């Protein structure tokens, strides 16, 4: 299984090189409170409480997005819970009524129990002539579009009743859904579903972008994502460091400029792929072909003798050699500049011996698949700075000694733990792949469900090896390679669709992207 990255609808367009920081919910609340405290005195003199003014800006931004997305809609169902998320909903309802729309306003918490800005939102809705209806089990949603203002980023545990029932009603309605700040039930810090969550069509998030909207299960719940900072520059709060950066495809062109006309193959490195134990040849062939397609000057393949013929037929440019043990591979290890090891390696004596030789070589390593499993079994405490590990959630769980569900419940924590325990650079694959290196964590917002097929990770490891061979640091190779891999999958899916996408389809698309020539839909 490979890096099915985040949803294709994300808050930036390819080519936007501006850094896009991602924060935890508590950090965003701190930024919010500072902005309110620093509001201009004139706002207060006019009677506009700074917090409520910010709430109004949020509701207006969300309403604009709603009208752009569903311009023909004339009826809304707005479901409000408690806290400022509910307040945003009440204000949006008022804006919609004043704009001539019909609004069904449902409250899961007694509006009289709300305080602060949320209470002012209720007053604004009532001032617009709206009647707040209490939620009932048999409530029927009458709107053409549903607005989710139930639960915000402060949700800390599983969704309780009556919210769980309301979320179920929203999802069962099959109406388009606008979620305010975050789909109710989705964890803002991890992208995990807390029991049940709203499946939004569009999420409009405010102040600063949240990490949990871009990884894990978020891909199935956020829908299209619009980020509205409301005039707040989170970068002005330098002491609140973002936990990650949302990566952009423009990094590819920056890292891979046009080559000098007088270049020769010796300028672009020598990749050695080690893998393909007897009966397991396909993975290593995919990795070696990807390394060749992504521009390595030379690619060698150390594999079981029975797979050499298949390599020569598939990619004769790869220098394939059958190896029966470490002695056969020694000259190849000495000649290589970067080693990709793990695809189809196996975990018996053949694979163990070659893994030991690769670790002893002193060369930069890209380790995937059985290479990762062997690290757990044979080198459980090994920590290095010159390797790039590419686990999927199951392999990450094996490396950390936890379950795959625990990895997915908090991918950020798992990524940080892998970095601390093993050193080097890591790509935690999956929806919203995380790249952890010396400079922090990057999130890949590209990719599609078609990548959930065998061999995708082998292609990624070959791409990464090729980039390291061409002079990129391990961290830069991990970021650029993950982007190439995911964007290539998106290009392939745009032509032929997601279902039936094969790992072998990606190398040619990735090559086009690496040369700065985006593909177009046929």
| pLDDT tens per residue across span 62-86 | 999 999 999 999 999 999 999 999 9
Q: Is 500 annotated as a binding residue?
A: no
Does residue 172 form part of some domain?
A: yes
Same domain? For 213 and 288 the reply is no
Q: Dump pLDDT digits (tens) for 156-166.
A: 899 999 999 99
Tell whether 179 and 302 lie within a shared domain: no
Q: Is residue 6 assigned to a domain?
A: no
Shared domain for 31 and 85, answered yes or no, is yes
Residue 29 sits in the same domain as residue 141: yes
Is there a binding annotation on residue 457? Answer: yes
In 3D, which of 359, 362, 393, 368 has the Cα closest to residue 290?
368
Residue 392 in marked binding region: yes
Tell me the C-alpha distance between 298 and 336, whole Å: 9
Statement to judge: residues 122 and 232 lie in one domain: yes
Residues 227 and 260 in one domain: no
| pLDDT of the residue at 19 | 82
pLDDT tens per residue, range 119-155: 999 999 999 999 999 999 999 999 999 999 999 999 9
State the CATH number of the domain containing residue 453. Answer: 3.40.1190.20
362 and 280 fall within a common domain = yes
Residues 399 and 461 both lie in one domain? yes
pLDDT in tens, 267-277: 999 999 999 99
Is 99 marked as a binding-site residue? no
* pLDDT for position 192: 95
> What is d(CA 298, CA 144) in angstroms, rounded to the nearest whole number?
58
Answer yes or no: is 155 a known binding residue.
yes
Whole-number pLDDT of residue 40: 60
The reply to whether 163 sits in an annotated binding site is: yes
Per-residue pLDDT at 39: 76
In a domain, 521, yes or no: no
Mean pLDDT taken over the chain: 93
User: What residue has token string 């970021």?
Assistant: 479
Burial 165-175 (b: 16+ CB within 10 A, else e): bbbebbbeeeb
Of 241, 263, 296, the residue that ends a domain is 241
386-408: b or e for each residue (b if 16 or more CB lie within 10 Å)?
Answer: ebbbbbbbbbbbbbbeeebeebb
Q: Is 410 annotated for ligand binding?
A: no
- Any binding-site annotation on 386? no
Whether 191 and 259 map to the same domain: the answer is no
Examine residue 168 and state whether it is found in any structural domain, yes or no: yes
Ligand-binding site membership of 181 (annotated): yes
430 is in an annotated binding site: yes
Residues contacting residue 488 through CB under 8 Å, at least 6 positions apart: 506, 507, 509, 510, 513
Positions of E strands within 150-266: 177-180, 202-206, 224-228, 244-246
Is residue 283 annotated as involved in ligand binding?
yes
Q: Within a domain: residue 5?
A: no
13 annotated as belonging to a binding site for a ligand: no
Owning domain of residue 266: 250-514
The answer on whether 139 is annotated among ligand-binding residues is no
Q: Is 153 annotated as a binding residue?
A: yes
Domain co-membership, 383 together with 404: yes
Residue 366, classified by CB atoms within 10 Å of its CB into exposed (0-12), middle (13-18) or buried (19+), is buried
| Amino acid 329: pLDDT | 97
Are 289 and 199 within one domain? no
452 assigned ligand-binding residue = no
405 annotated binding-site participant: no
Annotated binding-site residue? 429: yes
Do 153 and 107 reside in the same domain of the chain? yes
Q: Are 329 and 354 in contact (CB under 8 A)?
A: yes
Domain membership of residue 294 (yes or no) is: yes
pTM, rounded to two decimals: 0.92
Domain count, the chain: 2
Q: Does the annotation place 375 within a ligand binding site?
A: no
Has 440 been labeled as part of a binding site? no
Task: Establish whether 110 is an annotated binding residue.
Answer: no
Looking up residue 175, the CATH number of its domain turns out to be: 3.40.50.10260
Residue 18 lies inside a defined structural domain of this protein = no
């Amino acid at each position: 299984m490979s890096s099915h990255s985040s949803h294709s609808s994300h808050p930036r367009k390819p080519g936007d090189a501006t850094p896009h920081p991602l924060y935890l919910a508590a950090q965003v609340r701190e930024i919010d409170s500072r902005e309110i405290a620093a509001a201009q005195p004139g706002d207060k003199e006019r009677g506009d409480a700074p917090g409520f003014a910010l709430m109004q800006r949020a509701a207006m931004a969300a309403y604009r997005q709603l009208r752009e997305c569903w311009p023909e809609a004339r009826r809304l169902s707005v479901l409000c819970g408690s806290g400022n998320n509910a307040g945003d909903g009440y204000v949006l309802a008022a804006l919609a009524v004043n704009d001539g729309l019909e609004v069904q306003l449902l409250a899961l918490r007694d509006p009289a129990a709300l305080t602060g800005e949320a209470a002012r939102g209720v007053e604004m809705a009532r001032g617009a002539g709206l009647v707040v209806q209490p939620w009932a089990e048999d409530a029927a949603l009458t709107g053409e579009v549903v607005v989710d203002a139930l639960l915000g980023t402060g949700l800390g545990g599983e969704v309780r009743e009556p919210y769980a029932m309301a979320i179920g009603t929203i999802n069962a309605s099959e109406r388009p859904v606008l979620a305010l700040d975050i789909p109710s039930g989705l964890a803002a810090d991890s992208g995990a579903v807390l029991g049940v969550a709203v499946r939004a069509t569009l999420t409009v998030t405010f102040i600063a972008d949240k990490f949990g909207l871009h990884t894990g299960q978020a891909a199935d719940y956020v829908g299209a994502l619009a980020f509205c900072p409301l005039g707040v520059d989170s970068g002005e709060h330098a002491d609140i460091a973002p936990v990650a950066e949302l990566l952009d495809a423009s990094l590819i062109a920056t890292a891979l400029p046009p080559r000098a006309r007088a270049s020769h193959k010796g300028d672009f490195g020598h990749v050695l792929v080690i893998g393909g134990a007897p009966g397991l040849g396909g993975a290593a062939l995919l990795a070696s072909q990807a390394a060749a397609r992504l521009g390595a000057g030379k690619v060698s393949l150390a594999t079981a003798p029975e797979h050499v013929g298949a390599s020569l037929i598939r990619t004769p440019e790869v220098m394939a050699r059958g190896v029966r043990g470490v002695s056969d591979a020694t000259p190849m290890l000495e000649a290589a500049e970067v080693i990709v090891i793990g695809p189809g390696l196996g975990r018996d004596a053949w694979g163990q011996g070659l893994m030991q030789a690769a670790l002893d070589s002193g060369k930069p390593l890209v380790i995937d698949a059985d290479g990762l499993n062997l690290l757990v079994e044979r080198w459980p405490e090994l920590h290095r700075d010159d390797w790039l590990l590419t686990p999927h959630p199951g392999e990450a769980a094996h490396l950390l000694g936890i379950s795959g569900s625990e990895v997915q419940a908090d991918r950020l924590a798992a990524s940080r733990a892998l970095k601390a325990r093993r050193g080097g650079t890591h790509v935690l694959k999956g929806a919203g792949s995380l790249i952890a290196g010396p400079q922090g964590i990057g999130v890949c917002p590209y990719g599609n469900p078609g990548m959930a097929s065998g061999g995708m990770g082998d292609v990624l490891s070959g791409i990464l090896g090729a980039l390291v061979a061409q002079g990129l640091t391990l961290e830069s190779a991990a970021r650029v390679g993950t982007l190439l891999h995911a964007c290539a999958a998106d290009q392939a899916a745009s032509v032929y669709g997601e279902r039936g996408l094969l790992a072998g389809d990606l190398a040619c698309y990735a090559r086009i992207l690496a040369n700065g020539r985006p593909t177009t839909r046929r």
